[in-house]
Structure 1
Amino acid sequence: MILADKIIRLRKKNGWSQEELAGKMNVSRQAVSKWEGAQAIPDLEKILRLGELFGVTTDYLLKDDIEDEEFTDPNLDSSVKRITLADANEFMEWRKSASIWIATATFLCILSVIPLFILGAASEIPSVGISENFAGGVGLIALFSIVAIAVGIYIYTGIKNAPYEFLDKEPFDAEYGVRGMVREKQKAYRNTYVKGNIIGGCFCVLSPIALCAGVFTENEFLITVMLSVTMLIAGIGVVFFIIAGVRWASMQKLLKEGEFSVQGKKVSRVKESMGTIYWLVVTAVYLGWSFVTNSWHSTWIVWPVAGVLFAAVMILCNLFVDKNH
């Protein structure tokens, strides 16, 4: 393979256009075009720069009989998957879309119990003419239907994310230029990430105001409506958290930083398992209590209490993980 073909191959692996490579080499696009068309040969200084830029040896660039890339890192493990610039950009673009899907599914899960709450409270009003059994039945149908849509979205994002699962499960290396590019994107996104978390936090903190306002009335239906408004506002806050967090996490994952470092992955797996178990238990308690007592209008208290206790559970989880690592 001649030098011209190797330059084309390496440029495309890194996801660069001729203009981008020319900018990195401080030459014109026409010069790169001539190199790739075998109409001109870079001088020695440019050869050395190409080797540094692509992370390959000058022997690989200059010797036509060397077909396989020879990287300048002597410790590079060829069995470890290497992330190119194109791979990194594709992954971050997908996670940008996935953040919307995941936020939508989570928002639906939060709102799924609202029809059950509203119908349950309405059944207590004689003038409405809805029986408790009818309200409970329709409310449960709505709950499971909405959750089914959310689960479908989660499954879809999981399938679409399958090609990138190795980032969590296997060691990987980034080709030359990938980390620099990701850091630039991370730097540009930082303000948006901070704003997303601030807005999400404000929505979550302010969400109980609606429920507190309902305390000043003895109308149970109005209290239930205020509870639903509280959940709606909290759900909006969660959406901001997820969209900002998923996009930020995609960059940290490529950089192997934060919770995606070797130590961070261990901590994250423990916290994720604890969180899953916790909410499954809470859901089981809520449904069990509600079915046994048929008091759907009052068993909703499980959710705000569980939300408050969840913070305590996560703090204890962090203390346990820190103590054992």
Structure 2
Amino acid sequence: MGFGEKIYKLRKEHGLSQEALAEKLDTTRQAISKWENNQGYPETEKLLLLSNIFEVSVDYLLKDTTENRVEHDKGYYVSREMAAGYLLSNKKQTQYVAAGISLLICSAIPYFLFRHSVPTYIVSGLVLATLGIVSFVVAGFADNKQYTAITKEPLILDPVTLKELKDELALLKRKHVVLSILGTVCVAFSGLSFLLTRKGFLDITEQSAPYYALCVFLFGAGVYILCNVIVSRDTYAVLLENDQYVNRFSARLARKSKKVIEKI
């Protein structure tokens, strides 16, 4: 058990929140979080205080810390706070990526609304496409390198954290069912409309142009919804089904996508 794991375990055993422990040590909650995530160590004075608060020796706190931290077979310890941070970080990044894809799709809308004014629909389309690219760039900056190890190493989570994450996922699954149906209907409806048009059953006329603009919007909205649902599910899979996750196609695709975004 590493230093961060010991601090987290002892804090929970003593019924202390990160804020409460930080107050006792005259430090910040962020400092406690960093220690628990093995991103730093307290000063000697703080170590002595921790020893007194938890009624353990300093030697116990530090013993085998380095050895445990580099042993890959024992896994990478993820605290509840770190898991929450990882979920939030991925949610934000996914929203930016999904928004970028949707904006690129919606850049076709001006063509249907302003077909008779070429400069107008070209400029409007370029504005939407540019916003989509900007969204991709922002997503790249939103990628928090702090959580890189979570997707690359076997993970260790305490039973309480596992249960809380499973409960969260159970609630999300109900929401995901509704969103998945909504997103699929949007994509299918708009896709079918354009398929019928291509087959000659429907025509793009001045009167029907707004309808096709709506179809493009629905397609973009459906893609946005489905992207968020799929990635949200995979994000929880990283934490709860780590061994199976690393070999999934979607996981490999997500990692490749991140590399592409980082290069932009």
TM-score w.r.t. the length of structure 2 is 0.63
Identical columns (%): 12
Task: Letter of the 1:264 partner, please give it.
Answer: R
Count residues in correspondence: 219
In structure 2, do the counterparts of structure 1 residues 11 and 272 end up closer, same or farther at CA, with 3 Å as the change threshold?
closer
Task: Letter of the 2:188 partner, please give it.
Answer: V
Within the candidate set 96, 99, 111, 1:101 is matched to 96
**C-alpha RMSD of the superposition:** 4.4
In structure 2, do the counterparts of structure 1 residues 196 and 17 end up closer, same or farther at CA, with 3 Å as the change threshold?
farther
5+ residue gaps in structure 1?
21-35, 42-61, 124-129, 277-325
- The reply on whether 1:183 has 2:177 as its aligned counterpart is no
Computing the radius of gyration over CA atoms, which structure comes out larger, 1 or 2? 1
Residue 156 of structure 1 corresponds to 138
1:70 positional shift: 5.2
- The reply on whether 1:68 has 2:62 as its aligned counterpart is yes
Task: Give me the whole-angstrom Cα distance separating, in 1, the residues matched to 2:61 and 2:204.
Answer: 79
5+ residue gaps in structure 2?
19-49
In structure 2, do the counterparts of structure 1 residues 270 and 225 end up closer, same or farther at CA, with 3 Å as the change threshold?
same
- The reply on whether 1:227 has 2:227 as its aligned counterpart is no
User: Secondary structure of the equivalent of 1:65?
Assistant: helix
Within the candidate set 229, 241, 258, 1:244 is matched to 229
1:97 positional shift: 3.3
Task: Give me the whole-angstrom Cα distance separating, in 2, the residues matched to 1:175 and 1:189.
Answer: 20
Higher relative contact order (CA 8 A, sep 6+): 2
In structure 2, do the counterparts of structure 1 residues 39 and 75 end up closer, same or farther at CA, with 3 Å as the change threshold?
closer
Provide Cα deviations, 1:260-309, integer angstroms capped at 9, x if missing partner: 62321588439978xx9xxxxxxxxxxxxxxxxxxxxxxxxxxxxxxxxx
Residue 207 of structure 1 corresponds to 190
In structure 2, do the counterparts of structure 1 residues 207 and 147 end up closer, same or farther at CA, with 3 Å as the change threshold?
same
In structure 2, do the counterparts of structure 1 residues 19 and 235 end up closer, same or farther at CA, with 3 Å as the change threshold?
same
Task: Give me the whole-angstrom Cα distance separating, in 2, the residues matched to 1:77 and 1:171.
Answer: 11
1:109 positional shift: 1.3
Task: Give me the whole-angstrom Cα distance separating, in 2, the residues matched to 1:226 and 1:217.
Answer: 11
Residue 23 of structure 2 corresponds to none
Task: Give me the whole-angstrom Cα distance separating, in 1, the residues matched to 2:167 and 2:155.
Answer: 18
1:180 positional shift: 3.2
Residue 196 of structure 1 corresponds to 179
